[in-house]
């Protein structure tokens, strides 16, 4: 950030009085511009013991496979963000999606939330941000061509869960700093 979005003057990096971290502070109107972690919401679309993945048509990780997910917009819920991204990237809707996992990833200041749900619409083809979409069984998942570590980890937890628990389990797995913290509901 170079300029204040309130008055247009230049900003400086400094620790405001009473604070403990450096912030962008306006040199003229003294507005403090905080930077906070971003939330990425997505879905695990299920159908007949398979998972739908999207092959990315955009950078980063162009050409690699991912779960449909993206940055939340202001004024939307995490569930709406997840289902909106799933429609944008895969042109599908899900039946009653429920929260499956939360990954807190402090070193990149991101929080991922994935909802699982059964695909309840026709699968017609990829959205504009995907090259293709396809259904994969656990044995077919392209583990070496997944776009992000959080996608691999989510899928591993998902299949582990399918094996070790009731497949209809309606809970969430929370992971932070590489430690599984809790499961609930």
Q: In the complex, which residues of this chain contact Zn ion (CB under 5 A)?
A: 4, 6-7, 9, 26, 28-29, 31
Q: Alpha-carbon distance 16 to 32, whole Å?
A: 8
**Rounded distance between C-alpha atoms, residue 8 and residue 83, angstroms:** 36
Query: Which residue lies nearer to Zn ion by CB, 7 or 80?
Result: 7
Structure-block tokens of residue 71: 């940055």
Name the minimum Å distance from CB 4 to Zn ion: 3
CB of 1 to Zn ion, least distance (A): 11
Backbone angles phi, psi at 90, to 5 degrees: -130, -5
Task: Answer for the pair 116, 172: CB distance below 8 angstroms, yes or no.
Answer: no
Q: How far is it, in rounded angstroms, from Cα 41 to Cα 167?
A: 22
Residue 8 or 106 having the CB closest to Zn ion: 8
Q: Report angle CA 60, 85, 146 to the nearest 5 degrees.
A: 40
Q: Which is nearer to Zn ion, 17 or 48 (CB)?
A: 17
φ, ψ (nearest 5 deg) of residue 119: -65, 125
Minimum CB–partner distance for residue 24 and Zn ion (Å): 10
Nearest-angstrom CA–CA distance, 12 and 24: 6
The residue among 19 and 95 lying less far from Zn ion, judged by its C-beta, is 19
The minimum distance between CB 15 and Zn ion, in angstroms, equals: 18
Nearer to Zn ion, 28 or 76 (CB): 28
Instruction: Please report how close the Cβ of residue 71 comes to Zn ion at its closest, in angstroms.
Output: 26
Give dist(CA 13, CA 83) in Å, integer: 37
């Amino acid at each position: 950030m170079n300029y204040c979005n309130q008055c247009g003057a230049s900003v400086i990096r400094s620790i405001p009085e009473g604070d403990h971290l450096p912030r962008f502070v306006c040199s003229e109107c003294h507005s403090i511009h905080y930077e906070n972690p971003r939330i990425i919401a997505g879905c695990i679309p299920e159908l007949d013991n398979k998972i739908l993945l999207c092959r990315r048509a955009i950078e980063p990780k162009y050409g690699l496979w991912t779960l449909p997910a993206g940055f939340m917009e202001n004024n939307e819920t995490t569930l709406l963000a997840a289902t909106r991204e799933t429609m944008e990237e895969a042109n599908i809707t899900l039946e009653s999606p429920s929260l499956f996992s939360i990954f807190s990833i402090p070193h990149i200041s991101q929080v991922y939330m994935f909802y699982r749900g059964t695909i309840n619409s026709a699968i017609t083809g990829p959205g504009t941000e995907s090259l293709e979409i396809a259904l994969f069984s656990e044995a077919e998942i392209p583990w070496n061509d997944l776009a992000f570590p959080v996608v691999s980890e989510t899928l591993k937890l998902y299949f582990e869960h399918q094996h070790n628990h009731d497949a209809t389990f309606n809970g969430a797995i929370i992971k932070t700093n590489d430690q599984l913290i809790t499961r609930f509901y």
